[in-house]
Amino acid sequence: MSSEDDPETSRAETYAEFAALVGGLAHEIRNPLSTIRLNMELLAEDFETTDSASPTKQRDRRAKAKIDLVRQECDRLQKLLGDFLDFARQESLAPEPGSLNVEIEQLLDFFAPQARDGGVEIVRYLDPELPTVRLDRETFRSAVLNLLLNAVQAMEGGGQLVVRTRSSGLGVVLELIDTGPGMDAETLAKVFRAFYTTKQGGSGLGLPTARKIVEAHGGTIDIESAPGRGTKVTIWLPAPPRLPTAGRG
């Protein structure tokens, strides 16, 4: 059967072409944006060396403030483009057998200083009897790291983040439970929509990208939340039956 006769193949090819197109466009935007950002930095240095006793001091301050604003917007657009490229990119996963616990332990050790700075205590409940799963370590870690960042940012006054792993049916489950303010039903229904965000300066692509990565692993991601009751993120991953059991390593 040719791709013309197979709707799924045709749809995949169309998506690949679209992803390549928008990815190329994003790269083309990124290059001149970087040039603008660099020239704003150079221009700002010129104003910083201006004689403070100059009669044009107030005018220079106003110009410097405008330059700083342009630089901030360039930074915001560069981050948005980076997030967009991560979301639009077709993942070419290279999953390998491994321990989910080991990946989570290493990621939490890396993330611990940032959690402490945010006043967040991380509590680990990792089941040592988890079956082995197949993971593309780099992409999976990026998805979980984004979820950890979301949890810490939600707990502005500090709090507790429970990270738990357990077996479930023919797979394993990773749960992230925070004591943040939670979300109402309307917000919860939109969290996986691209570009939807309630965070100042957020791109709204973190959760959609995380879901895309989890689903590319054959898994699912679900979020439960309620105002005043925190948020629980649950990731389920399949565990191939023929792989041996992996401990915590």
Evaluate if residue 175 carries a pLDDT over 90: yes
Cβ proximity of 126 and 105 under 8 Å: yes
Mean pLDDT of 98-111: 93
Question: How many Å from the N-terminal Cα to the C-terminal Cα in the chain?
Answer: 46
Distance CA 3, CA 121 (A): 52
Average pLDDT score over the chain: 79
pLDDT bracket for residue 121 (50, 70, 90): very high
| The pair of three-digit structure tokens given for residue 125, joined into one six-digit string | 């409940």
**pLDDT 10s digits, 43-60:** 777 776 555 555 567 777
| The pair of three-digit structure tokens given for residue 138, joined into one six-digit string | 């780099």
DSSP states along 15-56: HHHHHHHHHHHHHHHHHHHHHHHHHHHHHHHHHHTS-TTSTT
E strand map for the chain = 96-98, 120-126, 133-135, 159-168, 171-178, 220-225, 231-238
Alpha-carbon torsion angle 36, 207, 107, 173, nearest 10: -170
**pLDDT 10s digits, 180-218:** 998 888 888 888 886 666 666 555 677 888 888 888 888
| Residue 243, pLDDT score | 46
Mean pLDDT of 36-49: 75
The amino acid sitting at 174 is L
Q: Could you give the 3-state DSSP secondary structure of residue 155?
A: coil
Our measurement of the distance from residue 183's CA atom to the centroid of its chain's CA atoms, rounded to an integer in Å, reads 19
Pairing of strands 231-238, 220-225: antiparallel
Residue 83 neighbours by CB under 8 Å, 6+ apart: 203, 205, 206, 209
| Residue 2, pLDDT score | 47
E strand map for 30-158 = 96-98, 120-126, 133-135
* Residue written as token pair 């979820």: 147
The answer, as to whether pTM is greater than 0.85, is: no
Q: Cβ atoms within 10 A of the Cβ of 243, count?
A: 13
